[in-house]
Structure 1
């Protein structure tokens, strides 16, 4: 029989909610026990005395403050122990040597000691994030020779000392602490480290002598001002580097990271794109910097680039054909700049083009005629007053068109554009008419005033404005319902 306030999905798995203690009549066959949102200040051995076959124990958000000594010692089959989002101030004593996963995040543990991990030679995953660890000596991890994942983020740590050789460690997360430096040979003891997360600390430079095994390095939201060849020359296997949200004014050492495919330099103080970037780059985020000008020379070597973000740079000049060598580019975002026209010679491989928030006042066929693959075009919040139907005919695969926030002059020529958009089934956010006065404030895809004014001189098939074509769920006062969602996710997987 399944205990009260518990669900028994099978004879081996049990989930209990809002209990005051571990149920005493749990079947001996149970291998996985999950207890959550309960009130159990103290855990006692008596609650687990009959569960010798337990392999996974999860105690989530249950108010646990203390645990009886040696409570888990007799559980010779326990492989995974999670006691997270509770009120623990110490790590449970005498944990079974069979443990492979230990998760103690979101508690109130102020320190870790060597005896906490003695005998845990099979442990592969250790998580102690969001606790109260101000200082930490890595010597306490010496018994954990098989450790692969170590997560220590969100503790407020300001000092790391000591040495522990962890030959199998692959993932190390110490984000959102107060770390300023590591001693020079700290990372020499992690020869297999592949993923290092150090975002949200106080580093003023890239930590020294990082292991060549690294594949991904996250250093966003620190205080780094420059990146040199010396910092990165050994990272020959690195493919992902994030330096967003630092104080970079120079990034000239990146060319040595030859296998880099993703680079995030957004939210810094860079005034130009480095002319020597790794040629294998597929994703480059240079948004929120101070790049006023982009030239063909800046982008010449980036033949593998697929995603380029240049938003919020105060960019005035984007030279024509600057991207002519970017023959694989599919996503280009240049919103919130000072461009007055769509740059000429954009790659025909583009599927998304975001120019929101510029000063573009005209779009001609010559601007877009080669963009046969374009599916998303965002021209919100520019200076457009009109757009020709020939422009849309030049974009055979267009599926999403964003034109709102422009001062539209709703003359009869827009009826042709309206009809074409309906025929193509394009998802359109068209914006409101600014002129002429008789239809000011109306959305031009549904303006009855514009239709009445033009119908004497323009033949228009009203049948094409059916509710189905307009995708209108309901009509009120002659105006269709319009989705006012202002957001569209332009970032894509790569």
Structure 2
């Protein structure tokens, strides 16, 4: 009876508008200047005074609550009693919580209109069965970066409209078999950065609409039989940074739309070549392993041949490599006994890999070497050298002093670094007919000769980073039509010639981040019809010109964060069906064309850190409405 009287008293006080602080405090921010206003309750524990309401506003207008603490010290447990967000704001669609202690199982029971829920950097360990049971309209659920160890098997049983689910960067070691059973509409599932070692095929049995699955950075050692067999719409699979040694074709079954498998940073020594016949996979990505150690993106048109050769060599070359290594060690021993020398124009400390299945030698060059009587491989062994690593601290580098490819005719990879490296002879690689990868890092280079790669028609990767490049010659890549990766990050590039990437129809990745680019030229991207990743982060770009990305039909990831863009126009893009994420974080965007999702129908826009929106948004999300209302078409 006493509780009822207290409740009545507080109700009367509320009606009389007395100055009583609520159990949580809320500062309202007006998001638009239009008559159709949307209000956000930005809640904070240290908010002073009582609640502040805008004029002509009612609680029915609040669609979103952000509750973010500066630290987790004394952070609260979110309960429906102390934080009755959905009781107070019946039309609430989105809740974002950061650095709270945890959430009570009944916290969201009155949130019948909730579309999006995020909790991160909390101490939450358990996702209980009833937490989301009343949220039948939930479409986006971000539970990443917490301490979750357990998800109740019935946690998502009523969330049949869910499209996006992230459990990344938690402490999950296992998941109950039927946890995802009701999620037939989920397109994105993230389980990266947990402690999962064993996969259960039952997890994915009903996820027939899943397009993106991220299992990276766990401890997975095996992909069980039929683990992905029900995922008929799966397009991208990430199993990188695990402990895989073998990939079986029977893991995939009828995954008949699978385009990419990311296997980088595993210990893979064999892959069943039937995976090429049984799936339409367009690209394997490697970076570390036993069979393919160098960074490599193998595309479908060369996939079967490249993988077949690699795996066929696994056993065949094992015995041969053992014999060659023993002969080599014996030879070096004998050379040491007779104090024999072989003199070349440059000195070379040879390193032999311990991996018997690769059977290559690396020439390590340093101008600071004081070993005058270096032991050299005999002339007959020079054909086995496939890599050179050079540190240049005082001198420039010329073909006459460093005739790499004259001495090593099978050279495939060159790595150069050093602050003293300021000039490169245009003829340096002229005799390198088999050269595939060139990396220049932390040099003082400002210019690259136009003919540097003119004879390297098999070149696949060029990386020039952390240097002082201001531009590149227009014809630098004219003869390199097999290039699939160009990385020019952390230079001083202001602009590039219009046709610099002309005819690079195989290019898969182009990265120009951390430069000084102010304007994009649509001509740069005209021929890049197979480009998958474009990184323009951390430049000074203020506008996306009309049709600038029109021809990038295969673009999957656009990174253009930390620039100065204020408006997103739909006419900057063509109809890009495969663009998964367009990352505009930390620009100054205050307007977005309302037609943007007509051309980017399946794209997730990251608008965090901008003016008119602070969220990840999908087609139809209300958070972006303010941006639409601010939009003005570009002046022709």
Which TM-score applies when normalising by structure 2? 0.40
Q: Which moved more, 1:107-116 or 1:14-23?
A: 14-23
Shift of 1:188: 3.9
Equivalent-residue separation in structure 1 for 2:140 and 2:465 (angstroms) = 50
Q: 1:160 offset after TM fit, Å?
A: 2.5
In structure 2, the residue matched to 1:255 is none
2:340: which partner in 1?
none
Map 1:90-239; keep pairs closer than 5 Å: 90-92=150-152, 93-95=154-156, 96-163=159-226, 164-206=229-271, 208-211=273-276, 213-224=280-291, 235-236=300-301
**Is 1:311 aligned to residue 372 of structure 2?**
no
Other-structure match for 2:143: 83
State the SS of the aligned residue for 1:294.
helix
Higher normalized contact order (CA 8 Å, seq sep 6+, divided by chain length): 1
What secondary structure is seen at the aligned counterpart in 2 of 1:185?
Answer: helix
Give the corresponding residue for 1:17: 68
Contact conserved, 1:137 with 1:160, CA < 8 A, in 2? no
Q: Residues 203 and 17 from structure 1, CA distance in 2 versus in 1: closer, same or farther, beyond 3 angstroms? A: same
User: 1:115-141 CA deviation, whole Å, 9 max, x = no partner?
Assistant: 101121111111111112111123420
Deviation at 1:172, TM superposition (A): 0.8
Q: 1:117 is paired with a residue of what secondary structure?
A: coil
Contact kept, 8 Å, 2:287 with 2:293, in 1: the verdict is no
CA 1:28–1:219 in 2, change beyond 3 Å: closer, same or farther?
same
1:33 corresponding residue in structure 2:
95
SS of match in other structure, 1:218: strand
Q: Take 1:372 and 1:70, find their aligned partners in 2: how far apart are those partners? A: 62
Contact 2:409/2:432 (8 A) holds in 1: no
Q: Mind listing any 5+ residue stretches in structure 1 that lack a counterpart?
A: 243-247, 253-266, 273-284, 300-307, 358-370, 376-398, 401-494
Q: 1:312-461, aligned counterparts within 5 Å? A: 312=416, 320=427, 323=430, 346=452
User: Residue deviations 1:189-245, cap 9 Å, x none?
Assistant: 322112211122111134533345333322212122589xxx97x92287xx99xxx
Work out whether 1:71 is the aligned partner of 2:136.
no
- CA distance in structure 1 between the aligned counterparts of 2:264 and 2:440, rounded to whole angstroms: 26
**Cα distance in structure 2, aligned partners of 1:374 and 1:298:** 26
TM normalised by structure 1 equals 0.50
**Using the alignment, how far apart are the partners of 1:319 and 1:31 within structure 2?**
60
For the 8 Å contact 1:15–1:34, the answer to whether it is kept is: yes
Secondary structure at the aligned position of 2:118 is classed as strand
Contact 1:324-1:347 within 8 A present in 2 as well? no
CA deviation after TM superposition for structure 1 residue 35, in Å: 0.5
Question: Is this contact kept in 1: 2:64–2:95, CA < 8 A?
Answer: yes
Could you tell me how far 1:176 is from its partner in structure 2?
A: 1.3
Conserved? CA contact 2:449–2:473, under 8 Å: no
Contact 1:12 1:31 in 2 (8 A): yes
Aligned partners of 1:150 and 1:173 also within 8 Å: yes
> What CA deviation, in whole Å up to 9, does each residue of 1:366-393 have, x standing for no partner?
xxxxx97699xxxxxxxxxxxxxxxxxx
- Whole-Å separation in 2 of the counterparts to 1:115 and 1:77: 21
Q: 1:146, CA displacement in angstroms?
A: 0.5
Q: Is 1:4 paired with 2:25?
A: yes
1:294 corresponds to: 405
Distance 2:198 2:465 in 1: 47
In structure 1, distance between residues paired with 2:403 and 2:65:
60
- Find the aligned partners of 2:221 and 2:463 in 1 and give their Cα distance: 43
- State the partner residue of 2:628: none
- SS state at 1:210 partner: helix
Unpaired runs of 5+ in structure 2?
A: 1-21, 32-38, 40-61, 70-74, 308-312, 318-354, 363-385, 391-401, 418-423, 457-461, 477-491, 494-636
What SS does structure 1 have at the residue aligned with 2:97?
strand
- Deviation beyond 6 Å, 4+ runs, structure 1: 295-299, 347-350, 352-357
Q: Which residue of 2 aligns with 1:54?
A: 114
Q: How many residues are treated as equivalent by the alignment?
A: 306
- In the superposition, relative to structure 1, how do residues 68 and 355 fare at CA in structure 2: closer, same or farther (>3 Å)? closer
Q: Does the C-alpha gap of structure 1 residues 2 and 296 become closer, same or farther in structure 2, counting only changes over 3 Å?
A: farther
